[in-house]
Amino acid sequence: MSKEMRVPTVGESISEVTVGQWFKKDGDVVQMDEVLCELESDKATFEFPSEAAGVLRIKAQEGDTLEIGGLICVIEETAEASSSAPAAALTAAAPAKAQSTGEVKDMIVPTVGESITEVTLANWIKKDGDFVTLDEIIAEVDSDKATFELPAEATGILRHVAKEGDVLEIGGMICKIEVTDSAPAASSAPSAEAAPASAASASTNYASGHASPAASKILSEKGIPASAVAGTGKDGRITKEDALSAQKPASAPQAAPSPAPKASESAPVAPGSRNVRREKMSSLRKTVSRRLVAVKNETAMLTTFNEVNMKPIMDLRSKFKDQFKEKHGVGLGFMSFFTKAVCVALQEWPAVNAMIDGNEIVYNDFCDISIAVSAPKGLVVPVIRNAEGMSFDQIEKEIVRLAGKARDNKLSIEEMTGGTFTITNGGVFGSMMSTPIINAPQSAILGMHNIVERPMAVNGEVKILPMMYVALSYDHRIIDGRESVSFLVRVKQLLEDPTRLLFGV
């Protein structure tokens, strides 16, 4: 029986591909899901895996251009394929008593978000050659928006392909797993107690007593060994919550003596000293840095300022905040006023809510507002979907929900992608004025700042008013001065007379 393998559909606008490098030769025995060659389109290069096990018969040569659906190769499925030399080699490489199936599972970078095209391999949790089980966490991967764990897609022997720090495109090869049908047995017993210990371990698995990456970091900072914490997660895995609630054992200081601390750790740095510390930049920080520089280099970014009298909003909050919280169960903050005002202004000035895609301008008839939130790993920007149709309490509840997930590092990629406009509030840290950087591919961002009482001239009189500077950074390629200034003036008008938000005027 033969399996014809044809060019798959790889994108709406892609009609043909070019055969790149063949990794297998004509006549080779190949396994299911084993990568055969590379296919190149005008947008990306991707790997072409085998759809069956058998003997490979190549029909298209390197450099050939094929249309979607064109024949690339044929796999002659034979019974002998499973007992061929490659399968035997994998079996020999497996640990003692681990029965290899002859299958090799290629693990590639999964799709993690619409706007994410590459990730960085942060660290390997399992070593090359380790036995791993299905769904066991083997590595951590950083994108420019979040860090996520990579679970094993099969049970078997792990073979690293990418190294820590490598930047991989979506679909790039991370590792291979030589699939086995059982766990490897220990080759030798280190002591007389090994036999009962191995019997006990047979009833457990990797997760038992093992800390997740987040929990491991917390335990390391607390100086608590994972063996001293009882895991409540699946199969006994130590979760982040377990680590947060863990207490250092009282007997720990009397345990085996620890190595002498370094000079820099044993005592505070003396005044006048000139110590220098170097810390490796995290993969996430490097990616963010690269994207911010790209925004500065690739956009014609400009910032315009205005100031807002916050007294009307503050008076409204003072009058209704208790009733608001009693009815809706959430506090009434400034962000809901700014979000509502921004949505009104965006609908009146659609260019500020648009973005550039190649030679086209994409206008959005909806307002997905990204809210910058400070999280433990850095600044993240979750999105409030269709904010233009939400009430004040709905916006406040969504902000509380997203901010809570951000603090717990539980935001999903979907919750941080697709925004059309961003609001950032540097005022919570005391900032008086700033020029925020656009959150690409968006075209504008509004910066809020600290509220400070200042003397202001009002109708010929000097009054002390709570004032806030607001800044709008925008891409001048798509937004002209008229749109940017008018947008900011409209936001100012709505905030200084918030009753306009109730009547839409």
CATH of domain 1-81: 2.40.50.100
Q: Beta strand 45-49 with 378-380: parallel, antiparallel or unpaired? A: unpaired
Cis? peptide before 441, omega within 30° of 0: yes
User: Is residue 476 annotated as part of the catalytic site, yes or no?
Assistant: yes
DSSP E strand stretches across 262-377: 301-309, 355-357, 360-362, 369-371, 373-375
What six digits make up the tokens of 51? 């759809």
Task: Tell me if residue 218 falls in helix, strand or coil.
Answer: helix
Measured at the CA of 99, the angle between CA 98 and CA 105, to 5 degrees, comes to 95
Rounded CA separation 376/378 (Å): 6
Instruction: Name the residue ranges covered by the structural domains of the chain.
Output: 1-81, 84-183, 295-503
Between these two residues, 265 and 456, which has the higher pLDDT value? 456
Return the minimum-mean-pLDDT range out of 129-143, 192-206, 361-375: 192-206
CB-based contacts of 343, cutoff 8 Å, min separation 6: 367, 369, 387, 388
| Strand stretches in 402-488, DSSP E | 421-425, 444-448, 451-458, 461-475
Q: How far from chain centre, in Å, is Cα 351?
A: 28
Contact 14, 43 (CB under 8 A): yes
Q: What is the mean pLDDT of residues 463-476?
A: 95
Separation CA 498–CA 177 (nearest Å): 60
Strands 45-49 and 444-448, by their bridges, are unpaired
Quick one: CA torsion of 202, 204, 205, 207, rounded to 10 degrees?
-160
Rounded mean pLDDT, 277-305: 81
Residue 277 confidence (pLDDT) above 60? yes
Give me the catalytic one of 128, 322, 476, 497.
Answer: 476
pLDDT in tens, 16-28: 888 888 888 888 8
DSSP code of residue 12: T
445 by DSSP, 3-state: which? strand
Q: Which H helix or E strand runs over 298?
A: helix 283-298
Q: Are 275 and 403 in contact (CB under 8 A)?
A: no
pLDDT digits (tens, 9 = 90+) for 183-234: 665 544 444 444 444 444 434 444 466 666 566 667 766 778 777 777 776 5
For residue 287, pLDDT over 70 is answered with no
Same fold, 84-183 and 295-503: no
Task: Supply 246's token pair.
Answer: 């863990």
Of 46-60, 202-216, 283-297, 466-480, the range with the highest mean pLDDT is 466-480
* 428 touches 399 (CB < 8 A): no
Q: How many CA atoms lie within 13 A of 270 on its CB side?
A: 3
Which range in 137-146, 326-335, 487-496 is most confidently predicted, on average pLDDT?
487-496
3-state secondary structure of 314: helix
H helix runs in 50-102, sequence order: 85-93
pLDDT in tens, 37-90: 888 776 566 778 888 888 999 999 888 888 888 899 999 886 555 444 444 444
DSSP reduced 3-state for 316: helix
CATH 2.40.50.100 fits 84-183, yes or no: yes
CATH number of 295-503: 3.30.559.10
CA angle 211, 213, 218 (to 5 degrees): 80
Which amino acid is residue 88, in one-letter code? A
Cα Rg, the chain, nearest whole Å: 29
Q: How far apart are CA 108 and CA 105, in angstroms?
A: 10
Going by their DSSP bridges, the two strands 71-76 and 2-6 should be labelled as: antiparallel
H or E segment and range at residue 347:
helix 334-348
240-252 average pLDDT score: 67
Residue 416: count of CB within 10 angstroms of its CB: 23
- In this prediction the pTM is 0.54
Active-site residue flag, 449: no
Question: What secondary structure letter does DSSP report for 433?
Answer: -
On whether the CB atoms of residues 369 and 422 are closer than 8 A, the answer is yes
H-helix or E-strand spanning residue 175:
strand 173-180
Residues 6+ apart with CB under 8 A from 11: 41, 43
Confidence at residue 88, expressed as pLDDT on a 0 to 100 scale? 42
- The catalytic residue among 64, 166, 480, 497 is 480
Long-range contacts: 114-119, Cβ < 8 Å, 24+?
114/417, 114/418, 115/417, 115/418, 115/441, 116/143, 116/144, 116/145, 116/170, 116/413, 116/417, 117/169, 117/170, 118/143, 118/167, 118/168, 118/169, 118/170, 119/143, 119/167, 119/168, 119/170
Predicted pLDDT of residue 204: 45
